[in-house]
Structure 1
Amino acid sequence: MSALPKQIFHRLQDDKEIEITINKFKNVTDYGGQRILDILLICSQRFKEERFESCLQLAQCVLDIVWEMLNTGDWKEVPVIWRKVYTYGAIYKAAAYYAMGKLEQCIHASDYGLLMGAPILDNILNDIISAAAARIHPCKQTTSIDDALANAGDHHRNDDIDPQRQITQLSCPSLDYFRKHYFCTKEPVILTDVIDHWPALGARRWSIQRLKDIAGHRTVPIEIGTRYTDDSWTQKLMPLSKFIDEFITMESNQESGYLAQHQLFEQIPELRTDICVPDYCCIIDDNNDDVDATVLTNAWFGPQGTISPLHHDPYHNLFAQVMGRKYIRLYPEHESENVYPYPTKLLSNTSQVDVEFPNFENYPNFANAEYLECIIEPGQLLYIPPRCWHYVRSLDISFSVSFWW
């Protein structure tokens, strides 16, 4: 067996936090909450007694019960207390696996807690993952995956872009200039020479192999299907290495897989140190009294051909390209009627039109809608204003980072 680091073990011995959860959870005892908490308390006791097999079984029992609550109805409507209790179950499951020397199972259980739960105990799950990962020594491949894929991709060139529709490029403008000419006017622009200092683009340059070495053992959500508007579209949780093997390096796979709009850097801090939030994200709208200073950072990683259908978001967006290239087309907000949004509330921010193969009989006004376009290259930032419609297609294996604020 492998002993947990003392600081982690001692934090799991402290009952104060779990007592706070119990008091909050009393309001939902009609849904079996008391039974769940009784099991959780016994689970905690088994862990203190170092009866790890029993602790593991009880933790799994808690997770199985709470899983049903997490997957009933709209995710946004799930009370956060259920997610916290799920996290407790994941913590004890992961800690038991660690103590039993089952390190990969420990990391897998921890990731489920991070993805489905809520932060507790100073996000102890990240500490458990770090301790487990430090004990795992993955085999390095003698030949780089990236070398084998270097020539793959859609050889779409910048000169294929209509010069009249090309998005303006600007080298590292001042914050004041960017605010005055683009942020306030809601004009898109490509910014160059802004993120060259990122380790992900230099000293610790990201590649397929590097991502696999650092995070291949981590469980992540993957979108399966070409577009999220398709009836066959679904999501699966899987290790990043499996995603790479099945959807990135295996050309014969008929399905499309995409790690899309995921807060990967919150889940895996080792990757977060390779990027930085651009200074432009500190600019705020003086006319908006309800300002949220939070910057939401999302990862987008997938093979050539992944598509984000034409849609808009309510945020300012700096879209950073780290690996590969993407073709992006933008339609201004005032063209909303001409891009034919879905009539349903759920998809009201998404166009019904297939941008590159439009059906003009069904959507005749789309032919007259004005747009801008570009091919974004590694090291470039694209500013996408709020409610600006955008369509994205990967020309290569691609990794992008979006900063919403």
Structure 2
Amino acid sequence: MNTLRQFQMWRALDHVLGGKPPATRFESKREQLQPNNSSTPQPVKQIPVLEGLSDKEVRREFMREGRPVVLKGKATDWRCVQEWSMEWLKRHYGNDRVDIFDPLDYDSKEVNYDVEVTTLSTILDAMEHGDTSKYSRFNRLLYDHPELVEHFDWEWLHQMRSTWSSGKTYQVFIGGQGTRTSLHCAGEHNLFTQVHGKKHWYFIEPKADPWLNPPVSRTPYFYSMFDPECPDYESYPGMAATQIWECTLEPGDVLFNPPFWWHQVRNITPSIGVGFRWFDLVDNLATNATGTALTLMATKPPIWTATKHRTDFAAIFKHMQSKS
């Protein structure tokens, strides 16, 4: 058994058995995998940005291959892109309850489990004053107001799933200029529609798992303290030889974000984006078999609990801080 397979085996075992982070059983294998010589960091490459692809081409060349792509202008004519704005949200849905949470904090180097309950108007007002602490992630807008699904080409979104896929989840992200989400990955496919404003993404391939040193947390949500905006190659030497990708989304763009690709996101302007997520076991195993196993063996929460609460990430978040 090669060193990488041993590393992944020990990582999976720690995921099941638990232990005080950082886990220790696979650290020696990680050290063996580190490059022997220092590497010059590679220039960041651009994610493909393409127009006019057929659905068949998107599935064959990107979804089945587990590669990200930006479908330029795919949603330009959708009602959400034509009508939605911060003022529109405030006028129609300003009184909606919103749960705010930011799991990752580069300053503290720890997971933050605090959840703040507020209203959408409060977030939008804070955005106008440059408050980057107010970022609505995984907003339930399309579940609290299901008529808004009609503002998307939901038939196209649904048909892009394979016949053996499970789940259909809409998640809205509303944030001001400068708000961001730190490096993380999860085991779902995501067709992300940029509705309003501009959003920048960094991507790192799943094979970089050993270099990113993700803590063993027994959750289906994986994170790393590596920051592609300000890379620390001394703490993460393997990342110097690892390719980093990026793209910038504009209104009407649709991004395919494959399962287990690490990504970090920053809003360049006030931004509204909507992710459409689903789970595909066959594609997941092909992309990252270890990540798929860790997802299925998660206990904080178990996969069936995460599926039950898939439209309410705040509920999933509460399970993630449990001691089970």
Q: Give the TM-score normalised by the residue count of structure 2.
A: 0.66
- Show the counterpart of 1:208: 86
Per-residue deviation, 1:271: 3.4
Displacement of 1:343: 3.1
Letter of the 1:341 partner, please give it.
P
> In the superposition, relative to structure 1, how do residues 384 and 225 fare at CA in structure 2: closer, same or farther (>3 Å)?
closer
Out of 178, 183, 188, the residue aligned to residue 63 of structure 2 is 183
Contact between 1:341 and 1:348, CA under 8 Å: does it hold in 2?
A: no
- Mapped partners of 2:201, 2:155: distance in 1: 20
Q: What is residue 221 of structure 1 aligned with on the other side?
A: 99
User: What are the residue-to-residue correspondences of 1:51-200 with 2, within 5 Å?
Assistant: 165-200=45-80
User: Taking structure 1 as reference, are residues 232 and 182 closer, same or farther at Cα in structure 2, changes over 3 Å only?
Assistant: closer
8 Å CA contact 1:265–1:271 kept in 2: the answer is: yes
Task: State the SS of the aligned residue for 1:349.
Answer: strand
Which amino acid is 1:378 matched to?
Answer: P
CA gap 1:313/1:347 in 2 versus in 1, 3 angstroms: closer
Cα distance between partner residues in 1 of 2:260 and 2:271: 24
Name structure 1 gaps, 5 residues minimum.
1-161
Measure, in 2, the Cα distance between the counterparts of 1:179 and 1:347.
Answer: 25
Q: Which amino acid aligns with 2:87?
A: Q
* Larger strand percent: 2
Distance (Å, rounded) in 1 between the aligned partners of 2:104 and 2:236:
21
Q: 1:383 to 1:362 in 2, by over 3 A?
A: same
Judge conservation of contact 1:277–1:403 (CA < 8 Å) in 2.
no
**Which residue pairs with 1:402 in the alignment?**
275
Moved more, 391-400 or 218-227: 218-227
Partner AA of 1:365 in structure 2: G
C-alpha separation between the residues in 1 aligned to 2:88 and 2:75? 19
Counterpart Cα distance in 2 of 1:230 and 1:256: 17
Q: Residue in 1 aligned with 2:129?
A: 250
Q: Which of residues 174, 178, 188 is equivalent to 1:301? A: 174
Q: Is the 8 A contact 1:224 1:257 kept in 2?
A: no
Choose which of 241, 246, 251 in structure 2 pairs with 1:378: 251
Identity %, equivalent residues: 28
2:150 matched to 1:273?
yes
Tell me if structure 2 keeps the 8 A contact 1:298–1:403: yes
Distance across 2 between alignment mates of 1:272 and 1:330: 28
Report the alpha carbon displacement of residue 170 of structure 1 after superposing the two structures with TM: 1.5
Is the alpha carbon distance of 1:340 and 1:226 closer, same or farther for their aligned partners in structure 2, counting shifts above 3 Å?
closer
Deviations for 1:95-146, whole angstroms, at most 9, x for unmatched residues? xxxxxxxxxxxxxxxxxxxxxxxxxxxxxxxxxxxxxxxxxxxxxxxxxxxx
State the Cα distance separating 1:285 from its structure 2 match. Answer: 4.7
Q: Secondary structure at the match of 1:234?
A: coil
Question: Deviations along 1:302-338, whole A, 9 cap, x unmatched?
Answer: 1111111111111111111111111101111111112
**How far did 1:282 drift?**
2.2
Cα deviation, residue 179, structure 1: 1.1
1:142-189 Cα distance to aligned partner (Å, 9 max, x none): xxxxxxxxxxxxxxxxxxxx9971111121321211111111111111
- Residue 201 of structure 2 is aligned to residue 323 of structure 1: no
Equivalent pair of 2:104/2:111 in contact (CA under 8 Å): no
Whole-Å separation in 1 of the counterparts to 2:104 and 2:189: 26
Q: Give the AA of the match of 1:250.
A: H
CA–CA separation in structure 2 for the residues paired with 1:361 and 1:209: 45
Structure 1: distance between partners of 2:233 and 2:57: 40
**What TM-score do the two structures reach when normalised by structure 1?**
0.54
Aligned residues: 235
Alpha-carbon distance between aligned partners in 2 of 1:227 and 1:206, rounded to the nearest angstrom: 30
Alpha carbons of structure 1 residues 342 and 278: separation in structure 2 relative to 1, 3 Å: farther
Aligned-residue offset at 1:300:
0.3
Equivalent-residue separation in structure 1 for 2:174 and 2:236 (angstroms): 31
